[in-house]
Amino acid sequence: EIVLTQSPGTLSLSPGERATLSCRASQSVSSSYLAWYQQKPGQAPRLLIYGASSRATGIPDRFSGSGSGTDFTLTISRLEPEDFAVYYCQQYGSSFSLTFGGGTKVEIK
Amino acid sequence: EVQLVQSGAEVKKPGESLRISCKGSGYSFTSYWISWVRQMPGKGLEWMGRIDPSDSYTNYSPSFQGHVTISADKSISTAYLQWSSLKASDTAMYYCAYGSGSIDPWGQGTLVTVSS
Is the pLDDT confidence value at B101 over 90? no
**Sign of the torsion formed by the C-alpha atoms of B52, B57, B62 and B67:** positive
Kindly report which listed range (A28-32, A53-57, B102-106) carries the lowest average pLDDT score: A28-32
Q: What is the DSSP letter of B9?
A: P
Is the pLDDT confidence value at B56 over 70? yes
Predicted local distance difference test score (pLDDT) of residue A97: 83
CA distance B101 to B99: 6
pLDDT band at A1 (very low <50, low <70, confident <90, very high): confident
Of A101, A57, A63, which is closest to residue A82 (Cα–Cα)? A63
B63 CB-near residues (< 8 Å, 6+ apart): B46, B48
Q: What is the pLDDT of residues B12-52, one digit of tens each?
A: 999 999 999 999 998 999 899 999 999 999 999 999 999 99
CA distance A44 to A38: 9
Predicted local distance difference test score (pLDDT) of residue A93: 77
- What mean pLDDT do residues A84-101 have? 90
Tell me the CA distances in angstroms from B18 to A16, B4, B52, B63, B83, one per residue in order.
46, 19, 21, 19, 5
Best of A10, A33, A98 to substitute, by most chain B Cβ atoms within 10 angstroms, is A98
Q: Give the CB-side neighbour count of residue B76, counting CA atoms within 13 A.
A: 10
Percent of chain A at pLDDT > 90 equals: 89
- What mean pLDDT do residues A51-75 have? 96
pLDDT band at A94 (very low <50, low <70, confident <90, very high): confident
CA distance A64 to A55: 7
> Which of A50, A51, A102 is nearest residue B44 as measured by Cβ atoms?
A102
CA distance A12 to B21: 38
Any idea how long chain A is? 109
* Cβ-defined contact of A97 to B35 (cutoff 8 Å): no
Predicted local distance difference test score (pLDDT) of residue A31: 73
Q: What is the pLDDT of residues A20-47, one digit of tens each?
A: 999 999 999 977 799 999 999 999 999 9
Tell me the CA distances in angstroms from A18 to A57, A63, A79, B41, one per residue in order.
22, 10, 6, 29
Is the pLDDT confidence value at A14 over 70? yes
Is the pLDDT confidence value at A95 over 80? no
Put simply, whether B34 touches A (Cβ < 8 Å) is no
Of B113, B110, B88, which is closest to residue B36 (Cα–Cα)? B110
